[in-house]
Structure 1
Amino acid sequence: MRTSRFAVTVTAVLALSALLSPFGTGSAQAAASTVSPTGTNNWSCKANAAHPNPVVMVHGTYGDMTVWNTMGPALVNAGYCVYALNYGSQATASMVTSAGELKTFVDKVLASTGATKVSIVGHSQGGTMPRYYLKNLGGAAKVNDMISISAANHGTTNTGVTAKMVGYPTCVACSQLMSGSSFLASLNATDETPGTVSYTNIVTSYDKVVTPYTSGYLSGPSTTNIKLQDDCPADTASHTQMPSDPAVIRLVGNALATNGPAQATYKAKCTW
């Protein structure tokens, strides 16, 4: 029943959606959009027994909340309170600074909805930066699910992500996301999946921004790692296409609806 509901909701919002996730394009970027994806950031929404954990959606480097223009409305239509934020000068600031902004935003969501925990869905840097919040800023006690999509949890070997771009003379987060960075060494030391959080990590073998794509995997007792092509071999979704991919949206839905990380046996329907 979950799958069929997501099939209906993603079809309904597809015509309204436009994916704008510019991480790694190498071109100038427009100012961040402040227009929330349809139905999200509804501050009158309240947590309920069916959906006790509001969903906080975190975009990636050089991006903004419009990356969730497909997935956000789909989750709203499935009954979740969904929130999206812009942070860190389009996620170019230090991930330490951005994690502090995420902490403030999560606290606002919890106060507004009456929930005790949120579920975080993050794309690219948005799947990596929140882990600093979980590990170092008390986030593990306030997060039920940490769902990452094409995250650079162990860094990327693609040096193009550190290239200077018009409008962004520096990108502190870019160097932090490089394989072998001191930031990631500290983040991954001792315990990659702290607390009682459920971790779901979704990657694509067609990722050319986070290389190798297996960088998105984590090791931990309550963790499910998913390669999109294991469910949908013909799906060639790239790094920037993942947040609007139908199978990815259904995998996220399964993770949110499951008591724990995404079910390893769950098979997502691959088309709209």
Structure 2
Amino acid sequence: MDVTAVTSPTPAADRPGSLGAIASHAWGALSYAARTVGVPAGVRGLAVELAWTAVHLSVYPWGLIDEALRPGGVHAHHRTETLSPGERSLMVSDLDGSSTPVLLVHGIVDNRSIFHYLARALRRRGHGTVQAVNYSPMTAFTGDIRTAARDLGDHVERLCAASGADRVHVVGHSLGGLIARYYVQRLGGDARVDTLVTLGTPHRGSAIAHLLPPTLVPRQLQPGSDLLRELEEPAPGCRTRFLAVWSRMDQLIIPQRNARLEHPDLQVENVRRDHVGHMAMTIDPTVVHLVACRLARTTSPRDRVQTVAAAAG
């Protein structure tokens, strides 16, 4: 797992259609095939991706039903006798972290069922209010990321009003991460969002978008679009901290490095996974554990070992 804190501006991208860009895409395709089917870990990652996609499709209809908001969740009235030891320890050691609501935002033509495992893991970790929000599956064809971001802001306000919290955490998968980022950067959402986690989000667009219907959202997802250029504009004083998780095996973000978030005004931690598919990002044990640790503002044992080793070196 590669972890990088970002403090430098985004490098200029190759011009679309240039010989260098074509050669880069060709080399990227060969490299992707090699690391996916050329190593055992890649084959395992591909198998997990296919299996989870099949499971997700089977529960997709269930996810169309909006989730009822339960303010306080298992932590209503701050009673602990029904909690597991792990949940109780988080409440005692990090009451602020456990009481901050977590909002999960799905990706394109998807729904909240993609977060079944992640939501359960966060609740078991001690987060009292974890809610997955649905937006219209037609957003990909008839919608607008800017409008979806405003709708997300309205939902955040309702969540804060219902839970009594001043701030929330947001986890966005794929397009959901871009919607949440626009809300934070361009609509003043940094006043409400403490931490924004993006999983496989096309922060710099994806070449796959050129293959989608030529409606507004696919155009906004194309590299160099007006929306992505808007997100590159200065964002001084942004109060939200970001965690961007991306994978070198992501089959929907082309090139895969476009899922990195690089902006000089943002507090960003980029984490790379090598053998995790786009859909499996929400169930990968390492990613789930990382997200739980970052939302609780704790450090995972592996990170502590790496930090100690770096200090010793």
TM-score by length of 2: 0.65
SS at match of 2:270: strand
- Aligned equivalent of 2:21: none
Whether the aligned pair in 2 keeps the contact of 1:224 and 1:262 (CA below 8 Å) is: no
Equivalent in 19, 22, 25 of residue 56 of structure 2: 19
The structural deviation recorded for 1:175 is 1.6
Contact 1:252 1:262 in 2 (8 A): no
1:175 equivalenced with 2:219 (yes/no): yes
Query: Partner of 1:129 in structure 2?
Result: 179
TM-fit CA distance, 1:94: 0.5
AA at the equivalent of 1:19: H
| Residue in structure 1 matched with residue 9 of structure 2 by the alignment | none
- What do residues 115-134 of structure 1 show as CA deviations (whole Å, max 9, x unaligned)? 11000001001111111111
Query: Match of 2:161, SS?
Result: helix
Does the 8 A contact of 1:124 with 1:150 survive in 2?
yes
Q: CA, structure 1 residues 94+266, in 2 after alignment: closer, same or farther (shift >3 Å)?
A: farther
State how far apart, in whole Å, the 1-side matches of 2:241 and 2:300 are.
Answer: 8
Matched residue, 1:13 = none
Instruction: Tell me the CA shift for residue 30 of structure 1.
Output: 6.8
The within-5 A match list for 1:245-256 is 245-256=284-295
Q: Give the drift of 1:189.
A: 1.7
Structure 1 residue runs without a partner (length 5+): 1-16, 22-28, 165-169, 230-235
Is the CA contact (8 Å cut-off) linking 1:58 and 1:126 kept in structure 2? yes
Aligned mates of 1:50, 1:130 — CA distance in 2: 20
- Corresponding residue pairs, total: 229
* Superposition map of 1:121-200 within 5 A: 121-159=171-209, 162-164=211-213, 171-191=215-235, 195-200=238-243
- Deviations along 1:158-181, one digit per CA (max 9) or x if unpaired, are 246x424xxxxx753222111111
SS of 2:245 mapped into structure 1: strand
| 1:104 partner letter | D
Query: Which moved further from structure 2: 44-53 or 66-75?
Result: 44-53
Q: Structure 1 residues 112 and 254 mapped into 2: Cα distance closer, same or farther (>3 Å)?
A: same
Tell me, what secondary structure is at the counterpart of 1:49? helix
User: Are the equivalent residues in 2 in contact too, given 1:59–1:125 (CA < 8 A)?
Assistant: yes
Conserved? CA contact 1:64–1:90, under 8 Å: no
Q: Distance in 2 between matches of 1:104 and 1:262?
A: 33
Q: 5+ residue gaps in structure 2?
A: 1-53, 79-94, 307-313
Correspondence for 1:240: 279
Partner of 1:89: 137
Q: Which residue of 2 aligns with 1:119?
A: 169
The alpha carbon displacement at 1:194 in A equals 5.8
State the structure with more CA Rg. Answer: 2
Once superposed, what is the RMSD of the aligned Cα atoms?
A: 3.1
Distance 1:114 1:151 in 2: 30
Q: What is the Cα deviation at residue 109 of structure 1?
A: 0.9
* Aligned twin of 1:41: 69
